[in-house]
Amino acid sequence: MEQVSIGGVMIEKTAALAPMASVADKSYRLMCKEFGAAYMVSEMISSKGLCYGDKKTAVLCEIEPQERPYALQLFGEEPEFMGRAAYILNKFSPDIIDINMGCPVPKIVSNGSGSALMRDPVRAGEIIAAAAENACCPVTVKIRAGWDKDSINAVEIARIAEQAGAAAVTVHARTRTQFYSGRADWDIIRQVKQAVSIPVIGNGDVTDGASAKAMYDETGCDLVMIGRGSYGRPWVFENVREYLENGVSVPEPPVDEKMKVMLRHAEVLCRHKGETQGMKEMRHNFAWYIKGLNGAARLRGASGELNCLDDLKRVTEEILKIN
In the chain, % of residues over pLDDT 70: 100
Residue 140 to residue 166: CA distance in whole angstroms: 5
Torsion of CA 27, 115, 163, 73, to 10 degrees: -20
Handedness of CA 285, 23, 260, 255 (dihedral sign): positive
User: Is 103 marked active-site?
Assistant: yes
What is this structure's pTM?
A: 0.96
The pLDDT tens digits of the residues spanning 85-100 come to: 999 999 999 999 999 9
Give me the catalytic one of 51, 103, 137, 221: 103
Based on the domain organization, do 281 and 167 belong to the same domain? Answer: no
What CATH number is attached to the domain comprising 17?
3.20.20.70
Same domain for 199 and 265? no
User: What pLDDT is attached to residue 71?
Assistant: 98
> Cβ(131)–Cβ(83) under 8 Å?
yes
**Are residues 230 and 16 in contact, defined by beta-carbon separation less than 8 angstroms?**
no
Q: Which residue stretches of the chain have pLDDT < 70?
A: none
Check whether residue 210 and residue 164 sit in a common domain: yes
Q: Hey, which residues does 41 pair with through a beta bridge?
A: 71
Tens digits of residue pLDDT in 27-55 = 999 999 999 999 999 999 999 999 999 98
Q: What are the Cα distances from residue 267, in Å, to 63, 64, 89, 257, 279?
A: 19, 17, 29, 15, 9
- Per-residue pLDDT, 302: 86
Q: Could you tell me the residue range of the domain that residue 173 belongs to?
A: 3-246
Task: Please identify, among 212, 227, 246, the residue that sits at the C-terminal boundary of a domain.
Answer: 246
Residues 269, 311: Cα–Cα separation, whole Å: 15
Phi, psi of 54 (to 5 degrees): -65, 130
